[in-house]
Structure 1
């Protein structure tokens, strides 16, 4: 089951504090430079993130651990 951490109907600005849940702004900039991290939209210098893309990315990097027997 895919969890929703971000509103899938919302477009988040790179300055929105909610994005600090995944990483600080400087780390997100590094990820964009390296071509990793969540998908984003670029309007000139303005960076936006689609809530649906953020949820998909967070769920894709989720680490499942198993209980020790």
Structure 2
């Protein structure tokens, strides 16, 4: 799968690139519910690694051509 995010980049809440997976409020809901991609919380700043975002996206991939288990 092609990467949706740059593997070596850090994404901070507010970066428009994060809107591909959800807006600021959706990401906050996921963090509150312990869902969504892995993140770092440094003080009030929330930071996502590109590698973590890509891994999360890959784990949520659904292929309608693959047989279901």
Partner of residue 26, structure 1: 25
Task: Give the total of aligned pairs.
Answer: 66
- Tell me the TM-score normalized by structure 1: 0.90
Structure 1's consecutive aligned runs of 4 or more residues displaced over 2 angstroms after TM superposition are none
1:33 Cα deviation from its structure 2 partner: 0.2
Partner of residue 37, structure 1: 36
Q: Do the aligned residues in 2 keep the contact of 1:28 with 1:37 (CA within 8 Å)?
A: yes
CA RMSD of aligned residues (A): 1.3
Partner of residue 62, structure 2: 63
Partner of residue 47, structure 1: 46
Partner of residue 12, structure 2: 13
Q: Do the aligned residues in 2 keep the contact of 1:3 with 1:59 (CA within 8 Å)?
A: no
Q: Do the aligned residues in 2 keep the contact of 1:3 with 1:55 (CA within 8 Å)?
A: no
CA distance in 1, matches of 2:29, 2:12: 16
CA distance in 1, matches of 2:33, 2:2: 26
Gaps in structure 2 of 5+ consecutive residues: none
